[in-house]
Amino acid sequence: MTPNSHTMAPDPLPPLWSTPLGVHRFAQADEGNPVLVRVFRTLRATDERADPGSSFYASRDDLLQRVRLPDWDARVHFIADGLHQTVALANQSDRPEATPGLQIALRGIWFQIATQGSHHDVHTHGNCSWSGVQYVQVDDAEKRAPHRQLGSVNGVTRFYGPHINHLDGAHMAFGNAYLQSAHLDIPPVPGQLVVFLSWLPHHAMHYNGEADRIIVSFHASVHAATCNDQLHGYSHV
């Protein structure tokens, strides 16, 4: 079928089932990140579970109770505020009356250190509705991208879209070319916070650089200010 002179232009298609993702910048990162790097290295060195020779380390998710620094308190507030902004924007069309009074509950915060080509394989986060990552230290793009084997994906965070499974055995033609946009790479920038849905598959790509790749990650749940998260009655169809 081909269009003819009598065919009317179609209305634009509405966006369906979007996948929100928030990106925020911590203003005090340049000043606070070096201090946090020293704190994290100390926590790793005193962790009896840690293998000092390993190229990857993940702390326990209890940093809210363990770290006591003015910069850390400001960083936690920044994370909560960035999460609040992202969730409010993501839900404003469906529940506009609920978004101003959201309650943010940070369920766990931890840090990771990666180097020597290590990575964190594709995964999702359970027991929460939102997650996030903030970059604390990593080589800048001018050092990362020229890596002989890893190139521009050196140390990036890759997010996989919800339709990626449809690429398995799909008949590819121009009509479903949109399926080829199956992932998004976000370069690591110290101080940058990325907030994403907990069910969104993501992958910390292999990293090799002069500086260790150090990040803060978190789990969170979000609740209504009324403490009642029920969106509709059980008789709702």
User: Tens of pLDDT along 12-37?
Assistant: 777 778 899 999 999 999 999 999 99
- Kindly state the greatest CA–CA separation across the chain: 75
* Domain total in the chain: 1
Indicate whether 218 belongs to any domain: yes
For 89-180, strand residue ranges (E) read 103-114, 118-123, 130-137, 157-160
What CATH number should be reported for the domain holding residue 210?
A: 2.60.120.620
Backbone angles phi, psi at 21, to 5 degrees: -155, 130
Residue 140 tokens, joined: 């800048």
Domain limits at 139? Answer: 21-47+55-161+179-223
Q: What is the pLDDT of residue 212?
A: 98
Mean pLDDT for the stretch of residues 48-71: 95
Indicate whether 111 belongs to any domain: yes
Reduced to 3 states (helix: H, G, I; strand: E, B; else coil), residue 192 is strand
Q: Are 122 and 234 in contact (CB under 8 A)?
A: no
Q: What is the pLDDT of residue 107?
A: 94
Backbone angles phi, psi at 140, to 5 degrees: -75, 170
